[in-house]
Structures are given as C-alpha cells and as structure tokens.
Amino acid sequence: MLKPQEVLDRYYLETRCMLLETAAVLDRYDAAVEREGSTATDELKLDVLHKALQVLAEPKSRDRAEELLKVFTEVPT
C-alpha cells in the first residue's frame, strides 16, 4: 500500500496529462461552437463530462471512480 506522498509522486504527471487532454477536448468543442454558431444537436456527452468533473471536484468523496462509472452509464454505447 502506497503512502499518501507516494501516490501523488507516482501518479501526478499521468493525471495532469489526462486532465489537460480533457480541458483540450472542451476547448475544441467551444471553438467548434463558436466557429459554427451552434451547439451539438445532442449535448448529452458534454453534460456527462461536466457532471464527471463535478464528481472529481468533491474534496471528501471516497468513491470517485465508482461515481464516475455511474455518471458515464448515462451515455448509451
């Protein structure tokens, strides 16, 4: 079992990369909306991404991964 500092040291860069990629996707969507002058016809996936970010932002949640799985089931595959 890793110590708290070891968790941060081991996973920080990888997690930072994933969050930057998420931000880039949202930026690309916003740029497309601005360029096209309209939003997607179905923004369910965008709404789910925003919900997922809210789950991640909760400082005291212990089951974030489980909560994210529940949120992502809102999008049919």
How far are the Cα atoms of 12, 38, 40, 43 from residue 34, in angstroms, in the given order?
Answer: 33, 7, 11, 15
More confident residue, 61 or 32: 32
Contact at 8 Å (CB) between 22 and 45?
no
Summarize pLDDT for 16-48 with one digit per residue, the tens.
Answer: 999 999 999 999 999 999 999 999 999 999 999
Give the DSSP H or E segment for 50.
helix 44-57
Question: In the chain, what are the domain boundaries?
Answer: 1-39, 40-77
pTM: 0.89
Task: Tell me what the pLDDT averaged over the chain comes to.
Answer: 97
67: Cβ–Cβ under 8 A, 6 or more apart, which residues?
Answer: 55, 61
